[in-house]
Amino acid sequence: MGRVKLQIKIIENMANRQVTYSKRRNGLIKKAYELSVLCDVDVALIMFSPSGRLSLFSGNKSIEEILARYINLPGHERGGRLHNQEFLQRVLVKLRRDADQTHQATRIFEGDLSEVTTLHEAEYWEQILEETLKRLHVRKILDKHKTLVHDSDKMSSWMTSSIALKRFWHAMLIFLSMNEDARYSPPATTNVDEFVTSSPHNMLVDWLPQRDLQSLNFLNANGFLPLRDEAQSGKS
């Protein structure tokens, strides 16, 4: 999407790489956010930049919640691909014991905002606030310079509107990068199929530059290529 078509291989030039990372990270997070909202899906996104900096995003729920849900998936041992159940369990335990998520949020508060999804959060917050304001009828209040809303009915309808509540809540979570722990078991009404269940094989192949068959092989070796039905037809 730039002036030229970019090969998907590591960007050698450090500066360019950094710039690209910054841009694409934002883009990715935005996409993740949009997906989470549009389709009401839980999304957790974790990134470590080459310099070791962490970026993360989660939609409706906190990162930990989603990780816990992932870790608790019953299908893990079944898949055969997902080994090391014990390791995952230990991870979960650790998650549960790390009650100090404030640290990270604090860090963000204190100024380390570069790794946060600032613009997207702004956008998101606008929506949230706007929506909430509509419901709360605070807009009127703002205009009228602090006339209190004592309309119980309106308040009630807003407060009981779990959607508005959810969005607000989620906004807080996202914004704060608040990682509350997973000490309560997630719903876990989940059926895991496989890794990248419906990722069409040819899609991956298309993504990969031809000379990156190595990557393809890597993916394949790690079970990222379903190699089921349609994948069998020699695509590469």
Partner DNA sequence: CATGCTATTTATAATTA
Partner DNA sequence: TTAATTATAAATAGCAT
Determine if 15 is a binding residue for its own copies (CB under 8 A): no
Q: Which of 124, 126, 164, 129 is nearest to 30 (CA)?
A: 124
Residue nearer to DNA on the CB measure, 200 or 223 = 200
Determine if 146 is a binding residue for its own copies (CB under 8 A): yes
Query: Would you list the DSSP string of 141-166?
Result: HHHTTS-----HHHHHHHHT-HHHHH
Determine if 132 is a binding residue for DNA (CB under 7 A): no
Choice from 40, 211, 221, 233 touching its own copies (CB under 8 A)? 40
Span of 16-24, 138-146, 159-167, 182-190 interacting with DNA by CB under 7 A = 16-24
Write each residue from 184 to 213 as x if it is in contact with its own copies (CB under 8 A), else as -, in one continuous string: x-xxxxxxxxxxxxxxx--xx--x----x-
Choice from 160, 162, 198, 233 touching DNA (CB under 7 A)? 198
SS3 of residue 188 by DSSP: coil
SS3 of residue 112 by DSSP: coil
Determine if 70 is a binding residue for its own copies (CB under 8 A): yes
Q: Which of 54, 47, 26, 19 is nearest to 124 (CA)?
A: 26
Determine if 140 is a binding residue for its own copies (CB under 8 A): no
Determine if 2 is a binding residue for DNA (CB under 7 A): yes
What is the rounded distance in angstroms from the CA atom of residue 171 to the CA atom of residue 129? 10
Give the Å distances, CA to CA, from 14 to 10, 25, 54, 120: 10, 16, 18, 26
What is the rounded distance in angstroms from the CA atom of residue 135 to the CA atom of residue 156? 10
Choice from 2, 110, 233, 235 touching its own copies (CB under 8 A)? 110
SS3 of residue 120 by DSSP: helix
If contact means CB under 5 to 8 A according to the sort of partner, which of its own copies, DNA, none does residue 2 touch?
Answer: DNA
Catalog residues that contact DNA under the rule CB under 7 A: 1-6, 15-16, 18-20, 22-24, 26-28, 30-31, 34, 198, 200, 230
